Amino acid sequence: MGPDLLRHHFVLPGQVLATSHSETEGGFLRGHGTYIELVPDENDDDEHDFDDDGNIHGGGMAGRSKRDKGSSGWGNDNANVVMQMDDGNKDNKGDDNENDGHENDIPKGPQRLIASVAGTVERVNKLISVIPLSPSIYSGQVGDLVVGRIVGVGGSRWKVSLTCSSPASSGSNGSMKEGQLPLSGVNLPGGVQRIRTSEDVLAMRSLFKEGDLLTCEVQQVQARDGTLILHTRSLRYGKLDNGVLVTVPPSLVGRRKNHFVTLKGLNRKIVTDGNDASMDVDGEEGEGDVDVYLGLNGGIWIQRTVPPEWESSISADQDERAPLAETLQKLRHRHSTTRVSRSMRESIARVRNSIECLRLVHCEITPDSIEIVAKASLDEGVRVAHMLLPEWVVKLTEGTRQ
């Protein structure tokens, strides 16, 4: 099997990916999701277990003693590697027995490359990596929409957690991915365009403070350490209020042309009579429309759609020449201070549980899949509180598997 077919080979943590019989340098380069260890010296029969064509043999696990070759294991006990590397140094074996006096040097000998995560093998020439199926840490790209939480303020920048965990738990999460939002990357009140001053630095907490949720965009990925530089200069980005945050694995949220979507037609209400029978009651037009922000870091924000009459009333009360940024800031302020109605809270909760259903069955989360599950729950007359029952999770997500 050629190298191209290795691209989608599935491996498990601890599985041997490649071996090299070189006693000086390995015939492979270690990529992310892998680590290298020396082949035990007690038995050199490994070189007779595989051929030299780079073929895939099975799924062996590292750390298993050669004395257990008769025992059961992963796949064929005589085939423990995914690929065999030809390093051209097989004739130099036995030279390690000569001690040149460098006892503190790094031990050299036959090496093997082992997967540290579950995923698919990615090989580029001698570089071998394992791409995780569900990465727990988001690695961003320029232009990505993310939903984050402010965890620190200082030094003319905000520190943003991209795991979207609560403030109490984010500080102790060793795998937390963080980004930096500089003061120059945010819009000043009223949309004023000017150089930031020391007064702006002192007033940073009036814009965002610890615990605030916000949507922002990845502006830059630093090549040195992978730190993400964020910005909220677009009028679509900013602080989030009066909604619900759902956290899913980042692998379930794919890149789309538009990550700000509106779900319509969710204004039907489920009511029950005295016999616990359910029926639909149509709501007013536009009453149940819900906005969903799909963050590529796995954070999904759900809130009500701002009614058009709000914008009309604000526009009527201000000068026609007022900047758009000022109008949008007034709309956000009214949204954050206006109570969400009971029917709207039910629509938001239904969308939230629809996303949870998709997460439980590990289905890609898109506007179409969310709408399929939400409308299926309405058609079946399922109450929001019952959507996450196992029997309903399977039934409501059937439409996404067709």
Residue 93, pLDDT above cutoff 80? no
* pTM for this entry: 0.65
Rounded to whole angstroms, the Cα distance separating 59 from 7 reads 15
pLDDT digits (tens, 9 = 90+) for 296-349: 999 999 999 988 888 788 777 776 666 777 788 888 889 999 999 999 999 999
Query: How far out from the chain centre does Cα 173 lie?
Result: 15
Contact 214, 187 (CB under 8 A): no
Rounded to whole angstroms, the Cα distance separating 254 from 277 reads 38
Rounded to whole angstroms, the Cα distance separating 8 from 336 reads 47
Rounded to whole angstroms, the Cα distance separating 390 from 239 reads 35
pLDDT digits (tens, 9 = 90+) for 237-256: 999 999 999 999 888 898 88
Token pair, residue 297, equals 């870091």
Token pair, residue 319, equals 């000068």
Within the chain, what is the greatest distance between any pair of CA atoms? 90
pLDDT digits (tens, 9 = 90+) for 162-197: 986 555 444 433 345 789 999 999 988 767 778 888
Terminal CA-CA length for the chain: 32
Secondary structure (DSSP) of 74-122 = SS-TT---SEE---S-GGGTTGGGS--S-TTSPP-S-EEEEESSSEEEE
Token pair, residue 92, equals 């130099």
Could you tell me which residues are beta bridge partners of residue 122? 129
Token pair, residue 356, equals 């949870």
pLDDT-above-90 percentage for the chain: 35
Rounded to whole angstroms, the Cα distance separating 169 from 153 reads 18
Rounded to whole angstroms, the Cα distance separating 245 from 165 reads 10
